Structure 1
Amino acid sequence: MSIRKVTEYVKSFDETLEPIEFVEKTNTVEEAAKALGVQGAQIAKSILFKSGDSYGLFVTAGDIRINQKKVKQLLGSGKPKLASPDEVEEITGYQVGGVCPFALNKDVPIYLDQSMKRFDIVFTAAGTSHSALPITFDKLQEITKGHVIDTQTVE
């Protein structure tokens, strides 16, 4: 069901966007990169963080580690931590391994790491642990209305 939700959502912005489904699971950067035949950095990770009562979805290239101080700076008070699997599903509508930045259950800020700009195409999950959506960074930003940031630099 989730991949259909994502497909309908992204096609309302651009008819040419088409998720890819795999037989094997692609819920890690390594699994997705292997299935797609691309480098791991091209896999866009969508990670939900919580700080106090605030949530934010951070989308980065597969080879980037997110600086916790940057998360705190953007989400506010409280020590930032990864949202629990139950929180992830409640907020995003997707299970861990299939989280994508489209058609979320709840409105949360989306932060897009500039590290993805180095690729013509990145691959986000498409709502399941065995799917991917090839998309340009510009189209990703347009559809998500995400804030472009550098998740490794604290200002």
Structure 2
Amino acid sequence: MKDALTIHRALLEWEAVHEIVRLPIALGHADELPKALGLPADRCLVTRVYTCEGAYGGRRFLTGVIVPAGERPPMEAVRLTLGARNVRPASADVVNAVTEYAAGLVCPLLLPETMPVFIDQRVMDTLPADDVIYTATGEASTALGIRGRTLFALSHA
């Protein structure tokens, strides 16, 4: 499984300024980041993973959508963006196996190349690109602090 050290090493290799933050409480889900860090939800981003069917030649695949903590993207918008027939939240066992992150704590970095990642437009509209945001690392006890524009560029979203 991928963890904070895996992410840290990749970010060092990419020469990306970042911080791995030790959390005062363990997370059960990335939606708990704002409470753990004492920050507004729009500064804490969550990667939601969905199973999609009927796009890209009709095959089934996963996609990630980056949204503020506690929010979910409109399913119809995800479906239309991908041209998929069906979109639904991916099961935890599939998320664990495909992303190599703990379900609910998925980081938008180091995801499989076959897994497209998108950012909810509301994030782009409200968050200044130079602001530091926080996201999960795959571990319950840490978070990644990184500039929004750096995260967006490295996640290929």
Same fold (TM > 0.5): yes
Query: Which residue, 96, 101, 108 being the options, matches 2:108?
Result: 101
Partner of 2:37: 36
The farther-off stretch of 134-143 and 104-113 is 104-113
TM score, norm. by length of structure 2? 0.81
Aligned to 2:82: 75
- Provide the C-alpha distance between the structure 1 equivalents of 2:123 and 2:145, rounded to a whole number of angstroms: 12
Conserved? CA contact 1:98–1:131, under 8 Å:
no
Q: 1:131 to 1:107 in 2, by over 3 A?
A: farther
1:98: how far off?
Answer: 1.6
Q: Gapped runs of 5+ residues in structure 1?
A: 147-155
Flag structure 2 segments of 5+ consecutive residues without an equivalent.
54-59
User: Which of 111-120 and 128-137 deviates more?
Assistant: 111-120
Over the matched positions of the two proteins, sequence identity in percent amounts to 22
Give the conservation status (yes or no) of the 8 Å contact 1:51–1:79: yes
Give runs of ≥4 in structure 1 deviating > 3 Å. 27-30
* 3-state DSSP of counterpart to 1:69: helix
* Segment of structure 1 superposing worse, 118-127 or 20-29: 20-29
Evaluate the alpha carbon distance shift between residue 48 and residue 10 of structure 1 in structure 2; reply closer, same or farther with a 3 A threshold: same
- Find the counterpart in structure 1 of residue 19 from structure 2: 18
C-alpha contact 1:22 1:130 (8 A) present in aligned 2 = yes
Partner of 2:133: 122
* In structure 1, distance between residues paired with 2:27 and 2:116: 25
Higher mean Cα deviation, 83-92 or 10-19?
Answer: 10-19
Aligned residue among 62, 68, 80 for 1:61: 68
- Distance in 1 (CA, whole Å) between partners of 2:116 and 2:107 is 13
* Counterpart in the other structure of 2:57: none
| Per-residue deviation, 1:70 | 1.2
Q: Decide which moves more: 131-140 or 111-120.
A: 111-120
Q: Alignment RMSD, CA only?
A: 2.0
- CA, structure 1 residues 132+37, in 2 after alignment: closer, same or farther (shift >3 Å)? same
Closer/same/farther in 2, CA of residues 5 and 86 from structure 1, 3 Å limit:
same
How big is each residue's C-alpha offset from its partner over 1:29-71, in whole Å with a ceiling of 9 and x where there is no partner?
A: 5531122110122210101111110211100112533111111
- Greater per-residue strand proportion: 2
Matched pairs, number: 146
Contact 2:48 2:72 in 1 (8 A): no
Letter of the structure 1 residue corresponding to residue 149 of structure 2: D
TM-score (norm 1): 0.82
